[in-house]
Amino acid sequence: MSDSAGGNDLRYRRVVLKISGESFTAEGERGISMDAVTHVARQTYRAAQQGVQIAVVIGGGNILRGAEFTSGNSTIQQATAHYMGMLATVINGLALQDALESLGSDTRLLTAIRMEGVAEPYIRRRAQRHLQKGRIIILAAGTGSPFVTTDTAAAQRALELEADALLKATRVDGIFSDDPEKNPHAVLYRELTYQTVRDQNLRVMDSTAIAQCMEHNMPICVFNYKKEGYIERAVRGERVGTLVGDDARQTG
């Protein structure tokens, strides 16, 4: 990996930041709130200014998730619905790109489904080059294949871009023993192994994403994007939220 990312005290040189679509909308609503997008963009911009290379994998759940169309009487085929979900992530990616650029960031939007009039195609080496040049890259359209989510895309990109960690921004403080929005007694874990996540069926990411990270020992940090400064802190490698991993580099 390139040394172009700065600061010696930084734990990570390159990260994949998974941002869910729900962070782009007001609570309980759908669609895009530019205030919400700006909040995320500002934090991401400041995080990148620390000198860490950032690849954002953007979700689309604020607009559409493929699983919403799985009921038996839907006239939309499941695969079609997933492609619609992937296109939703491109809409979010465009919004994030403009929000980041209005702050002064150099960014590139790359899509896993080609749409040349809108964005560059995702090509691994090209993505790496952008990162080395200090650009924030926004990776949209997930993996380009249906029946998975952008969590899987984030795990996949973290591995192939040789990121040091996968940072998952969520609306809760990390991984809990139960759903904290339903159970007030749910306990927040500070650190977990992949195996525990799988054995206890903890809701972190989809199982493909966890399996991929486990196989390649990719650290995962799950944290709350709503808390001011937490994206910066997570990118800096601070202990925010829950850390999942087995490797020694986890235990600093």
Burial tier of 149 (Cβ tally within 10 Å: 0-12, 13-18, 19+): buried
Candidate segments 53-61, 95-103, 173-181, 196-204, binder of ligand UDP by CB under 6 A: 53-61
Binding to ligand UDP by residue 174, rule CB under 6 A?
no
CA 231 – CA 65 distance, rounded (Å):
24
Q: Are 249 and 194 in contact (CB under 8 A)?
A: no
Mark residue 81 as left, alpha or beta (left: phi above 0; alpha: psi -120 to 50; beta: remaining). Answer: alpha
Binding to ligand UDP by residue 17, rule CB under 6 A?
no
Binding to ligand UDP by residue 65, rule CB under 6 A?
yes
Among 142, 174, 237, 241, binds ligand UDP (CB under 6 A): 142
Among 48, 109, 148, 205, binds ligand UDP (CB under 6 A): 148
CA 10 – CA 236 distance, rounded (Å):
6
Q: Taking the complex as a whole, how short is the minimal distance between the CB of residue 9 and ligand UDP, in angstroms?
A: 31
CA 151 – CA 89 distance, rounded (Å):
12
Binding to ligand UDP by residue 32, rule CB under 6 A?
no
Binding to ligand UDP by residue 61, rule CB under 6 A?
yes
List 224's β-bridge partners, or say none: 170
Residue 122 structure tokens: 């995702």
Q: Taking the complex as a whole, how short is the minimal distance between the CB of residue 141 and ligand UDP, in angstroms?
A: 7
Q: Are 45 and 106 in contact (CB under 8 A)?
A: no
Candidate segments 121-129, 150-158, 192-200, 221-229, binder of ligand UDP by CB under 6 A: 150-158
CA 241 – CA 169 distance, rounded (Å):
10
Question: Using CB under 6 A as the criterion, what x/- string covers residues 178-217 for binding ligand UDP?
Answer: ----------------------------------------
Among 50, 66, 192, 197, binds ligand UDP (CB under 6 A): 66
Size of the site for ligand UDP (CB under 6 A): 24
Q: Are 112 and 137 in contact (CB under 8 A)?
A: no
Largest separation between any pair of C-alpha atoms in the chain: 57
> Measured from the CB atom, is 52 or 154 closer to ligand UDP?
154
- Binding residues for ligand UDP, rule: CB under 6 A, are 20-22, 59-61, 65-67, 82, 85-86, 88-89, 142-143, 145-146, 148-153
